[in-house]
Protein backbone atom coordinates (compact mmCIF):
# COMPACT_ATOMS: atom_id res chain seq x y z
CA UNK A 1 0.00 0.00 0.00
CA UNK A 2 1.34 3.46 -0.98
CA UNK A 3 1.31 5.90 1.91
CA UNK A 4 1.23 9.69 2.00
CA UNK A 5 1.44 11.86 5.09
CA UNK A 6 -0.51 15.11 4.75
CA UNK A 7 1.17 17.91 6.69
CA UNK A 8 -1.96 19.28 8.32
CA UNK A 9 -4.22 18.56 11.26
CA UNK A 10 -7.10 20.56 9.75
CA UNK A 11 -9.82 17.92 9.27
CA UNK A 12 -11.42 19.93 6.42
CA UNK A 13 -8.19 19.69 4.45
CA UNK A 14 -7.55 16.03 5.36
CA UNK A 15 -10.95 15.08 3.89
CA UNK A 16 -10.24 17.06 0.73
CA UNK A 17 -6.89 15.30 0.23
CA UNK A 18 -8.37 11.86 1.04
CA UNK A 19 -11.13 12.32 -1.53
CA UNK A 20 -8.54 12.82 -4.28
CA UNK A 21 -5.81 10.40 -3.14
CA UNK A 22 -7.63 7.33 -1.84
CA UNK A 23 -9.15 6.46 -5.24
CA UNK A 24 -5.54 6.29 -6.53
CA UNK A 25 -4.74 3.65 -3.90
CA UNK A 26 -2.95 5.87 -1.38
CA UNK A 27 -3.36 5.41 2.34
CA UNK A 28 -3.57 8.94 3.73
CA UNK A 29 -2.35 9.87 7.20
CA UNK A 30 -2.28 13.34 8.74
CA UNK A 31 -0.40 15.04 11.58
CA UNK A 32 -3.19 13.89 13.91
CA UNK A 33 -2.05 10.27 13.38
CA UNK A 34 1.55 10.91 14.48
CA UNK A 35 2.49 9.71 17.98
CA UNK A 36 4.36 12.94 18.72
CA UNK A 37 4.36 16.51 17.47
CA UNK A 38 7.17 17.49 15.09
CA UNK A 39 8.24 21.13 15.30
CA UNK A 40 7.99 22.98 11.95
CA UNK A 41 9.32 26.52 11.64
CA UNK A 42 7.39 28.28 8.91
CA UNK A 43 10.05 30.89 8.29
CA UNK A 44 9.50 31.27 4.53
CA UNK A 45 8.41 34.51 2.87
CA UNK A 46 6.46 32.80 0.08
CA UNK A 47 3.82 30.07 -0.12
CA UNK A 48 6.33 27.98 -2.10
CA UNK A 49 8.98 28.24 0.62
CA UNK A 50 6.61 27.48 3.48
CA UNK A 51 4.93 24.48 1.86
CA UNK A 52 8.37 23.02 0.99
CA UNK A 53 9.68 23.67 4.54
CA UNK A 54 6.68 21.75 5.96
CA UNK A 55 7.01 18.83 3.52
CA UNK A 56 10.82 18.55 3.81
CA UNK A 57 10.90 18.83 7.61
CA UNK A 58 8.47 15.93 7.96
CA UNK A 59 10.10 13.87 5.22
CA UNK A 60 13.51 14.26 6.86
CA UNK A 61 12.12 13.37 10.29
CA UNK A 62 10.04 10.38 9.21
CA UNK A 63 11.44 9.20 5.85
CA UNK A 64 8.01 8.87 4.27
CA UNK A 65 6.22 10.57 1.35
CA UNK A 66 4.78 13.91 2.49
CA UNK A 67 2.37 16.38 0.93
CA UNK A 68 2.13 19.86 2.45
CA UNK A 69 0.16 22.92 1.50
CA UNK A 70 0.53 26.56 2.32
CA UNK A 71 -2.19 28.99 1.42
CA UNK A 72 -3.61 32.40 2.09
CA UNK A 73 -5.52 35.45 0.94
CA UNK A 74 -3.80 38.25 -1.02
CA UNK A 75 -5.67 41.55 -1.21
CA UNK A 76 -4.64 43.83 -4.10
CA UNK A 77 -5.33 47.09 -2.22
CA UNK A 78 -3.21 45.84 0.71
CA UNK A 79 -0.21 45.05 -1.52
CA UNK A 80 -0.88 41.31 -1.28
CA UNK A 81 -1.41 41.19 2.51
CA UNK A 82 -2.16 39.19 4.58
CA UNK A 83 -0.51 36.65 2.19
CA UNK A 84 1.68 34.07 3.92
CA UNK A 85 0.66 35.65 7.23
CA UNK A 86 -3.07 34.94 6.67
CA UNK A 87 -3.42 32.62 9.69
CA UNK A 88 -1.33 34.93 11.93
CA UNK A 89 -2.91 38.19 10.66
CA UNK A 90 -4.02 40.33 13.68
CA UNK A 91 -2.96 37.41 15.94
CA UNK A 92 -3.76 33.68 15.76
CA UNK A 93 -6.46 34.02 18.43
CA UNK A 94 -8.33 36.89 16.77
CA UNK A 95 -11.69 35.74 15.39
CA UNK A 96 -12.27 35.66 11.64
CA UNK A 97 -15.27 37.96 12.13
CA UNK A 98 -12.82 40.64 13.29
CA UNK A 99 -10.17 39.86 10.66
CA UNK A 100 -12.78 39.85 7.90
CA UNK A 101 -14.38 43.11 9.03
CA UNK A 102 -10.93 44.72 9.22
CA UNK A 103 -10.25 43.80 5.58
CA UNK A 104 -13.69 45.02 4.43
CA UNK A 105 -13.01 48.38 6.11
CA UNK A 106 -9.47 48.55 4.76
CA UNK A 107 -10.57 48.23 1.11
CA UNK A 108 -13.54 50.63 1.39
CA UNK A 109 -13.39 53.02 -1.57
CA UNK A 110 -10.43 51.16 -3.04
CA UNK A 111 -9.92 48.47 -5.64
CA UNK A 112 -11.60 45.26 -4.37
CA UNK A 113 -9.57 42.61 -6.24
CA UNK A 114 -8.14 39.69 -4.24
CA UNK A 115 -6.95 36.15 -4.69
CA UNK A 116 -6.58 32.95 -2.74
CA UNK A 117 -3.28 31.19 -3.40
CA UNK A 118 -2.24 27.67 -2.51
CA UNK A 119 1.02 25.86 -3.11
CA UNK A 120 1.22 22.13 -2.52
CA UNK A 121 4.67 20.60 -2.15
CA UNK A 122 5.17 16.88 -2.48
CA UNK A 123 8.29 15.09 -1.30
CA UNK A 124 8.44 11.45 -2.32
CA UNK A 125 9.93 8.66 -0.23
CA UNK A 126 13.16 8.92 -2.26
CA UNK A 127 13.36 12.69 -1.62
CA UNK A 128 12.17 13.87 -5.08
CA UNK A 129 10.43 17.21 -4.50
CA UNK A 130 7.88 19.07 -6.65
CA UNK A 131 5.40 21.94 -6.10
CA UNK A 132 2.01 22.86 -7.58
CA UNK A 133 0.30 26.24 -7.41
CA UNK A 134 -3.38 27.14 -7.55
CA UNK A 135 -4.87 30.65 -7.69
CA UNK A 136 -8.49 31.78 -7.63
CA UNK A 137 -9.32 35.44 -8.32
CA UNK A 138 -12.24 37.23 -6.73
CA UNK A 139 -13.20 40.40 -4.88
CA UNK A 140 -13.55 41.47 -1.27
CA UNK A 141 -17.28 41.54 -0.53
CA UNK A 142 -18.70 44.64 1.18
CA UNK A 143 -20.04 42.56 4.10
CA UNK A 144 -19.46 39.19 5.79
CA UNK A 145 -21.68 36.70 3.97
CA UNK A 146 -22.24 32.95 4.37
CA UNK A 147 -21.49 30.36 7.05
CA UNK A 148 -19.83 27.53 5.11
CA UNK A 149 -16.11 27.00 4.55
CA UNK A 150 -13.66 28.70 6.90
CA UNK A 151 -11.28 31.63 7.35
CA UNK A 152 -11.72 34.38 4.78
CA UNK A 153 -14.39 32.57 2.72
CA UNK A 154 -17.21 34.87 3.99
CA UNK A 155 -15.59 37.95 2.40
CA UNK A 156 -14.32 36.29 -0.79
CA UNK A 157 -16.85 37.13 -3.51
CA UNK A 158 -16.43 34.84 -6.50
CA UNK A 159 -17.97 36.59 -9.53
CA UNK A 160 -18.97 33.46 -11.54
CA UNK A 161 -21.03 32.26 -8.53
CA UNK A 162 -22.41 35.77 -7.77
CA UNK A 163 -21.75 35.18 -4.06
CA UNK A 164 -18.99 34.43 -1.54
CA UNK A 165 -17.24 31.07 -1.20
CA UNK A 166 -18.83 30.75 2.26
CA UNK A 167 -22.22 30.68 0.58
CA UNK A 168 -21.72 27.69 -1.73
CA UNK A 169 -21.41 23.94 -1.16
CA UNK A 170 -18.04 22.34 -0.46
CA UNK A 171 -18.18 20.67 -3.89
CA UNK A 172 -18.73 24.02 -5.61
CA UNK A 173 -15.85 25.58 -3.67
CA UNK A 174 -13.45 22.69 -4.36
CA UNK A 175 -14.27 22.83 -8.07
CA UNK A 176 -12.79 26.34 -8.38
CA UNK A 177 -10.63 26.84 -5.30
CA UNK A 178 -6.90 27.50 -5.13
CA UNK A 179 -6.42 24.27 -3.12
CA UNK A 180 -8.56 22.26 -5.56
CA UNK A 181 -6.52 23.52 -8.53
CA UNK A 182 -3.16 22.80 -6.86
CA UNK A 183 -4.31 19.39 -5.62
CA UNK A 184 -5.61 18.33 -9.04
CA UNK A 185 -2.25 19.33 -10.61
CA UNK A 186 -0.41 17.27 -7.98
CA UNK A 187 -2.73 14.29 -8.55
CA UNK A 188 -2.06 14.47 -12.32
CA UNK A 189 1.65 14.20 -11.49
CA UNK A 190 1.01 11.17 -9.24
CA UNK A 191 -1.05 9.51 -11.96
CA UNK A 192 1.81 10.00 -14.43
CA UNK A 193 4.19 8.23 -12.02
CA UNK A 194 2.08 5.08 -11.73
Cβ 155 vs Cβ 104: under 8 Å: yes
Applying CB under 6 A, the span of 23-31, 101-109, 151-159, 182-190 interacting with ligand IMP comes to 151-159
Catalytic residue among 70, 79, 97, 105: 70
DSSP 143: S
Q: Give the strand pairing for 113-123 and 66-75.
A: antiparallel
CA distance 144 to 71: 21
Q: Does 131 bind ligand IMP (CB under 6 A)?
A: no
Q: Indicate the burial class of 26 (C-beta count within 10 angstroms; 0-12, 13-18, 19 or more).
A: buried
Q: Does 72 bind ligand IMP (CB under 6 A)?
A: yes
For ligand IMP, which residue of 5, 17, 57, 71 counts as binding (CB under 6 A)? Answer: 71
Identify which of residues 66 and 149 has a Cβ nearer to ligand IMP in the complex. Answer: 149
Cβ 70 vs Cβ 50: under 8 Å: yes
**Least separation, in Å, of the C-beta of 131 and ligand IMP?**
14
Applying CB under 6 A, the span of 23-31, 68-76, 126-134, 140-148 interacting with ligand IMP comes to 68-76
Beta bridge partners of 130: 122
Identify which of residues 43 and 126 has a Cβ nearer to ligand IMP in the complex. Answer: 43
Cβ 82 vs Cβ 89: under 8 Å: yes
Instruction: Name the residue with the smallest CB distance to ligand IMP.
Output: 151
- Is 70 one of the annotated active-site residues of the chain? yes
Q: Indicate which residues carry an active-site annotation.
A: 70
Site residues for ligand IMP per CB under 6 A: 69-73, 86-87, 116, 149-153, 177, 179
Amino acid sequence: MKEILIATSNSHKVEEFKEMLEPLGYQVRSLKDLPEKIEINETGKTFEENSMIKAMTLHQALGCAVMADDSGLMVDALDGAPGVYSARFMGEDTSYDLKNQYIIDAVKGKERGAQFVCVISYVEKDGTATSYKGVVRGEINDCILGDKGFGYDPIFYYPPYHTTLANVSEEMKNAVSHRGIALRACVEYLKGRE
